[in-house]
Every structure is written in structure tokens, then in C-alpha cells.
Amino acid sequence: MKSFAYASARSVDSAQQMVGDNGQYLAGGNDLLGLLKEYLVDPKILVNIKSIPGMDKIEPSGKVWNIGALVTVAQIESDPGIKKTFPGLAQAAADVGSQQIRNVASVGGNLAQHSRCWYFRHRDVLCLKKEGDMCYARHGENKFHSLFTGNNCISPVVSNLAIAFAALDAVAVVQREGQPVRMTMAELYAKAFDNPTAHNSLNPGDLILKVEVPVTRTHSAYLQTSEKHEFDWALVSCAAAAKVADGKLSQARVALGSISPVPHQVKGANDFLEGKTLDDATASQAADLILKNAKPHGHNDYKIPMAHAMIRRTLLKLNG
């Protein structure tokens, strides 16, 4: 690691002031220390944000839950209220890393973590994401990469929580230039879909404050498939949420991770599920709609049938 200065912020304003143009925020540090050790980032100062009061709380309410950006992934996994109200979110948290990681990892850090693409993470490879002139994964080793993208980089979003939040229609509140800005999960990652150098829509200095999760959807589920049974990134992850009454779905949302730079959502599929009773045929039709136009790159061809199965399984979990 190169050397850097260090400061603890007491407020959001001072954190933004101190981080300036050459700083990075430090919460759990799992992703940031990895980037520092590989010399992929070169901040002059790390601003500890764990010292900002009030950002580490889970606040339940009848309409919208507020989950602070400094809440740990372990808290999400084990909070009885979240397990009951948003089981899909609790499951997504339980599938993050190992206990040693979940104990320090924050909600904000999980959302803002950078690409896991092995070309990006290699300090000697100047890929498109690092303002080089080509994506090495496209014609190289791409078994972990995207089926969808709007640019030449095929590095996918790997945040478990983003996928569960997307299905729950949650909104991230981001402090930008002194003002809180509300962003859906689609908006939080939109920039990465078009711009290869972006991994999310956050500008330098932007700070995620909290996530607002509406309780509209009574049922939610999350499933992922990985090479290892536990402590691994998802090959494909899927979250679904809906209001289920008399066996019929309303306001259903399906989101997939690790197959696109954004949580992959298809409005047509969500609309198709409205008012439907879930059975294997319906789930299968929804999966067809969601995966239409998928473009595999050779080593990741397997992700299409895998994603199809994950969508069906996750949707059917909403039944009970």
C-alpha cells in the first residue's frame, strides 16, 4: 500500500470537505484495502466515516424502513425485523462473504464496491475500465462476466444487497454537493451501463447516507449460485419481491446480479407478472422475457440457462 493521511469525520459535511478531490471514504474497508494493496487507487487521504453519528441504525416503520449506510451486513443478516419483513434482503446479506467480512462490511460499501473483473483487478492490465483501449474479458476469460451491457466493458455488478434492494424498489439517499439526492437502484448503477470507466453513478465525493426500503411488497426472496457453497461471489444472483394476496401477485419485481453492470430488471416481465398466480409455466415465461436479448461471450454461455432456473426458483419461493 502507498501511504496516505487519515481523518475521522464527525459529520457528513466535514467528511465531504475532507475527502476533497483526492480522498476515499473508509467504512468496512474490505473493498478499499483490496484496491489499495493492488495499487488500483491512490488516495491522498482516507476519511473514516464510521465516526459520523446516526448512520448505523435500522429504523423500522409502517411504510418505509430506513437502513443507514453504516449498518453492517452482519446486522442485516441477523436482524429479526428484517428477516420477517424483507426475508430476501436478509438472505442476500447472509450470502455475502464470510462472517469475518460481514462483521465489518457496511451497506454503503457493499453497494459502492468496485468491479471484481480479474482484468480490472490485475495491477498490470490497463483495461477499458481503467481508461485503456480494450476490454480483455470480451475475447479472453469471461466466465464470470455480463450477458447484458450498453458498452464494451462486460464487468457485472456483484453487490448482493443491490439486487435485493432493486427487487424491493428501495431508494438510496446520496449526499451530493451538499444536497441529499434519491436514487433507485437502477439509477445508482445506470452510469456503469453506458460508461466503461464507471462502476456506479456516484461522482467523486458522493456519499451514500441510507437506503429507504418500502414495505409494499409482502413477500421477497433471494437466491444465488456460486462455485463454492459459501463465501463466494455469485455466478448468477436473483431477487424477487411482490405483494401476494389470494395467491395473486401485484407489483412484482425481479432483479438479477452478476449478468449486467446494473441490477438486471425488465419492465415487461414485471408487468407480465401483475395479477398472475405463480406456477412453473408463469415463472418460466417471465424468465424468457427477462433473458431475451442476452449476449453471452463464450465462457459465460452457461449463465443463460442458470439465470433461467434462478428466476423460476426465486419466483416460486414467493409462494410460500
Binding site for another protein (CB under 8 A): 1-10, 14, 18, 26, 29-30, 33-34, 36-37, 45-46, 48, 50-51, 97-101, 103-104, 229-231
Cα(38)–Cα(21) distance, integer angstroms: 21
CB of residue 305 to another protein, shortest distance in Å: 15
CB of residue 10 to another protein, shortest distance in Å: 6
Helices and strands in the chain: count of H runs, count of E runs: 13, 11
With respect to another protein, which residue has the nearer C-beta, 61 or 98?
98
CB of residue 262 to another protein, shortest distance in Å: 26
The residues, any chain, with a CB within 8 Å of residue 125's CB and separated by 6 or more, are 119, 132, 136
With respect to another protein, which residue has the nearer C-beta, 3 or 179?
3
CB of residue 46 to another protein, shortest distance in Å: 7
Helix ranges, 95-202 (H): 99-102, 107-112, 118-121, 160-167, 185-194
With respect to another protein, which residue has the nearer C-beta, 21 or 230?
230
With respect to another protein, which residue has the nearer C-beta, 112 or 294?
112
Q: Note whether 226 and 219 are within 8 A (CB).
A: no
Q: How far is CA 134 from the centre of its chain?
A: 25
Residue with cell 409462494: 319
Buried-state track 104-128, b at ≥16 Cβ within 10 A, e below 16: bbbbbbbbbbbbbbbbbbeeeeebb
With respect to another protein, which residue has the nearer C-beta, 187 or 232?
232
CB of residue 277 to another protein, shortest distance in Å: 32
